[in-house]
Structure 1
Amino acid sequence: MVKRRFGAILAGMMKLLRTLAVLMTLVFAGAAPAFAQAREQWDGVARIVTIADLEGDYEKFTDMLRTAGLIDAQNNWTGGQTHLVQLGDIPDRGPNSRMIMDLLMRLEPQAQRAGGHVHALIGNHEAMNIEGDLRYTHPGEFAAFATSRSERVRNQYYQRYTRALRRSPPATGAPVFDSVYRQQWNQEHPLGWVEHREAWGPNGRYGRWIAQHNAVIRINDTLFLHAGLGPSFAAAPRAGMNQAVSAALRDRPLETYPDIVDNQQGPLWYRGLSQNAEATEAANLDNVLRAQGVARVIVGHTKVTSTVLPRFNGRVLIADIAVPRGHSDPHAFLIMENGAWVTIHRGQRIPVIASTPQETCAYLRQIVALDNGTGPVAQLEQTQCAANAAAAN
């Protein structure tokens, strides 16, 4: 009964909740800052390390960084002139996003002093957290912000919240603010929730930091972004897309791409390069490569299998890793050294040679061997490569 009662008024309250979140950020942080546009392309880079969706897994991240030789035992930068590209989706589903972001913030200036670079690209889950969409937020994320003052902070926010509801009730009417309501509200706003929202707001420590980054970059002949580019964005200028994403996250959408943060063809959401049949998606990919002046695209966002997966004869590399229940995480990621790409899978280097279906199958078989012949990659290799063999005959 209680669940139905609160569910009935949820839709009418969403707009008010967004307004309250924005107001709370302004109270805590003052006027919105101006940002300088980040650089979005680099040439002549000899070494690139690419890591996709982390989803709050700090230990996995630091293990990958050490495997790549980017940090020492004290988590200081040792990567020299390497460019580290993190493809977005740091938060949600895991508890330690704050630790990951703090580490990236620490590594950024260290890498620059060494002649390298840390690129923390914006993913859809960064945008969701800034905008207050917390459907996938792990309880540990809120706990990471809780302090001895959190009870008082939450009480103060509750008072502001209920006053705002009384002034501007939803279409379904204001709820009854009794003990049952407060108990439910506390469950939905655990200790640390208010501080989390402050920090993730457009003017908070992490919201501001994220909005200063890019969503799409080019390094050498490779395009890096969280999701992909659909037909509506295939030829969009990178600088324009980055400016639009940053502005939208600061609640100042641009006329050029006003819905870029939520657009399903935009750089934070498009899944066609990872999911669509290659025959039907090839034309869009050709347009992306031609318009962006690159040879390949590297994306995260979409979990297809439990390693880095080449598609379109290696012109697309999917770096988001799916780990089904009961299987160990291979900590797979990408390294480019002097023009050659390799996948690091369970600490082993597998050259990404995938310019033909046969080469792609040979690559997958090497991964399967590291997985002892079992798991999602083995299943993919059996189905995909059997189909390729049948088509060749």
Structure 2
Amino acid sequence: MGLFDYLFSKADAKSCDTCAKSFAQMWASYRGLGHDPALGDEAYRPRTEPLPTKVPGHPARLVAIGDIHGDYHKAVRALRLAGLMDEHGHWAGGSTVAVQVGDILDRGDHEIRILILLERLAAEAAEAGGRLYLLNGNHETMNVMGDHRYATPGANLEFLGFSTWRDFCALMKRHSGCNGAGAPDPLQERRDAAARASSSPHTASMARLAPYNWLRSRALLPGSELSRRFFAARPTVLQLGGNVFVHGGVLPAHVEYGLERINSETQSWMLAPDGPKPAPSFLRGGSAIVWARAFSASDERRCDCDTLGKVLESVGAQRMVVGHTIQTRGINSACESRVVRVDVGMSHGCGDGPVEVLEVLKDGQVLRLREHTPPVEVGPAAPRHPPHQSAQQHAAVAGAGNAANSGRAPVPSAA
């Protein structure tokens, strides 16, 4: 009997005897999400410490990982490719500083499992003298806003298991008096969440996926457990030495508004100390910091290199590293290497592309690491060879490193 079956089975099955005999199986159904290092309520308390925005210094080794989108197995492969995780699932990066540029949510089935893994690795990295920074992308902000159009049925089931376990814990505390008088009733909270979901502007889109989206909404809305634990504690934009990391792109309006202010106000919105409120304007629309594509076009002539240069000069940086827009020919640079694009569509739900990560070394080398392939210097995206030109001819011109990317079929850009 799984946890969900136990909690919602007929009353005559809910005896202490049944609970005792089934607890191991119920526990296993939750632990299947991964080894959660923070099982108590402490992990879900609001984390209001200031978020990092500008970190001085130049690490000897800097790594960036693009969009993961719920693909646990590709996430593990990317971490191992970068030398950040060993075969036992623990931090192996030493003093390496790594950044994941957002979009862990949506399009894949193992979102919470990835969140727990990365949270644990970040703690281990700090203990080892390294760092693992996790950014919010547009899919994190969409989900906190209540837009779950891109959630998969498998991910909704994962949220069901997670929410059911948390409700089970709350019910046990409530019945034992551990939470004191006035403790919320998790079952009433479930009913309230279902009622809110029925009036959501995204109800029609949610209904086509699975019957558990209201549990997802309950877990992710501003002030909710998962938003407090995983997303409110993350910056939206981060500058490490001469490198600016952001999911979409930093535009002049964002610099004028203030990058620290963007991080602070995003955190406040996600914590929702006074109840849920609309998302800040800098997180909404095509020019939002998590949505912008001004520097991501595969055709470099369509990139706004002048604006990029002004932004970098204004913040005192040399390079911007972005995700969000799938680069079908692999990690590449544009605008004289002032922007590096690291979303390669590696998730099974986004084209199932090859696993790649970015490596920046203190000596100035900027490398693309790809599984089963020697590291190569990051450069502009290789042009697609015209129909009359063979792959062999193109490889001779572009070089074997870029030719390896040119054979991949185009994948539609992620939302």
TM-score normalised according to structure 2 size: 0.68
Aligned counterpart in structure 1 of residue 326 of structure 2, from 280, 297, 303: 303
Q: Find out whether 1:247 has 2:268 as its counterpart.
A: yes
My pick for the range that moved more, 82-91 or 228-237, is 228-237
* In 2, Cα distance between equivalents of 1:207 and 1:149: 13
Corresponding position of 1:18 = none
Aligned counterpart in structure 2 of residue 220 of structure 1, from 238, 241, 244: 241
Change (3 A) 1:188 1:61: closer
Aligned counterpart in structure 2 of residue 264 of structure 1, from 286, 305, 310: 286
Change (3 A) 1:42 1:364: farther
Corresponding position of 2:217 = 197
Change (3 A) 1:365 1:251: farther
Where does structure 2 lack aligned partners over 5 or more consecutive residues?
1-40, 169-185, 384-394, 411-415
Q: Find out whether 1:337 has 2:361 as its counterpart.
A: yes
- Contact 1:248–1:261 (CA under 8 A) maintained in structure 2: no
Q: How does 1:121-132 map to 2 (within 5 A)?
A: 121-132=135-146
Corresponding position of 2:48 = 35
My pick for the range that moved more, 100-109 or 32-41, is 32-41
* In 2, Cα distance between equivalents of 1:43 and 1:366: 34
Aligned counterpart in structure 2 of residue 85 of structure 1, from 94, 99, 106: 99
Offset from partner CA, 1:169-214 (integer Å, 9 cap, x none): 99xxxxxxxxxx9xx99766524x4443333233333211211110
* In 2, Cα distance between equivalents of 1:149 and 1:335: 37
Task: Give the letter for the 2:367 counterpart.
Answer: V
Task: Give the letter for the 2:148 counterpart.
Answer: L
Aligned counterpart in structure 1 of residue 343 of structure 2, from 300, 314, 320: 320
Change (3 A) 1:309 1:362: farther
Q: How does 1:65-80 map to 2 (within 5 A)?
A: 65-80=79-94
Offset from partner CA, 1:342-390 (integer Å, 9 cap, x none): 00123324333548999xx99963334435x62248xxxxxxxxxxxxx
Task: Give the letter for the 2:227 counterpart.
Answer: G
Corresponding position of 1:382 = none
Task: Give the letter for the 2:284 counterpart.
Answer: D
Q: For 2:113, what is the secondary structure of its paired residue?
A: helix
For the aligned residue pairs, the C-alpha RMSD in angstroms reads 4.0
Q: CA deviation at 1:240?
A: 1.7
Q: CA deviation at 1:264?
A: 2.8
Corresponding position of 2:178 = none
* In 2, Cα distance between equivalents of 1:148 and 1:214: 25
* In 2, Cα distance between equivalents of 1:61 and 1:293: 31
Offset from partner CA, 1:49-102 (integer Å, 9 cap, x none): 100110001100111111221111111111111111000000101111111100
Corresponding position of 1:57 = 71
Corresponding position of 1:381 = none
Task: Give the letter for the 2:339 counterpart.
Answer: V
Task: Give the letter for the 2:117 counterpart.
Answer: L
Q: Find out whether 1:143 has 2:154 as its counterpart.
A: no
Q: CA deviation at 1:246?
A: 1.6
Change (3 A) 1:280 1:156: closer
* In 1, Cα distance between equivalents of 2:235 and 2:350: 35
Task: Give the letter for the 2:270 counterpart.
Answer: L
Corresponding position of 2:259 = 238
TM-score normalised according to structure 1 size: 0.72
Q: CA deviation at 1:219?
A: 1.3
- Contact 1:334–1:343 (CA under 8 A) maintained in structure 2: yes
Q: Find out whether 1:290 has 2:313 as its counterpart.
A: yes
My pick for the range that moved more, 199-208 or 126-135, is 199-208
Q: CA deviation at 1:282?
A: 2.2
* In 2, Cα distance between equivalents of 1:362 and 1:78: 38
Change (3 A) 1:349 1:50: farther
Change (3 A) 1:52 1:342: same
Q: For 2:267, what is the secondary structure of its paired residue?
A: helix
Change (3 A) 1:190 1:81: same
- Contact 1:87–1:123 (CA under 8 A) maintained in structure 2: yes
* In 1, Cα distance between equivalents of 2:302 and 2:190: 54
Change (3 A) 1:303 1:128: same
Q: CA deviation at 1:215?
A: 0.9
Q: Find out whether 1:374 has 2:410 as its counterpart.
A: no
Q: For 1:241, what is the secondary structure of its paired residue?
A: helix
Q: CA deviation at 1:299?
A: 0.1
Change (3 A) 1:185 1:267: closer
Change (3 A) 1:336 1:163: closer
- Contact 1:88–1:226 (CA under 8 A) maintained in structure 2: yes
Task: Give the letter for the 1:133 counterpart.
Answer: D
Where does structure 1 lack aligned partners over 5 or more consecutive residues?
1-27, 171-180, 378-393
Aligned counterpart in structure 1 of residue 134 of structure 2, from 84, 95, 120: 120
Aligned counterpart in structure 1 of residue 227 of structure 2, from 178, 199, 207: 207
Corresponding position of 1:273 = 295
* In 1, Cα distance between equivalents of 2:210 and 2:350: 32
Q: Find out whether 1:44 has 2:58 as its counterpart.
A: yes
